[in-house]
Amino acid sequence: MFKGIFKREYYFNKIKGFINSDLIKAITGIRRCGKSSFMKSIMNSLEESGISKNDIIYINLDERGYRHIENDIQLEKNN
């Protein structure tokens, strides 16, 4: 669990209905506006609701080891 993350209730309430759906939602914004922190707060909420940490995947595509990933096939090969 990520400590010290501010939970953005307004935005969380807008997206929580999509969390267990097959619909993909994109979180966009300018650099350093808190997109990653927002994702970590969603992960915290999932853990608090009883979802195992092992069932949550977070991949930072800015990290060097993941920069080559452009589609689902490359993602599967990387894991």
Is 22 within a domain?
yes
Is 1 within a domain?
no
Q: What is the pLDDT of residue 1?
A: 63
Burial of residue 79 (number of CB atoms within 10 Å: 0-12, 13-18, 19+): exposed
Give the pLDDT of the chain (79 residues) as one tens digit per residue: 666 677 788 988 988 888 888 888 888 899 889 898 899 999 988 999 999 998 888 888 778 888 888 888 888 877 6
Q: How many domains does one find in the chain?
A: 1
Is 2 within a domain?
no
The span from the CA of 19 to the CA of 51, in Å, is: 12
Is 55 within a domain?
yes
* Backbone torsion region of residue 71, taken as left when φ is above 0, otherwise alpha when ψ lies between -120 and 50, otherwise beta: beta
Domain span including residue 52: 9-78
The span from the CA of 19 to the CA of 56, in Å, is: 12
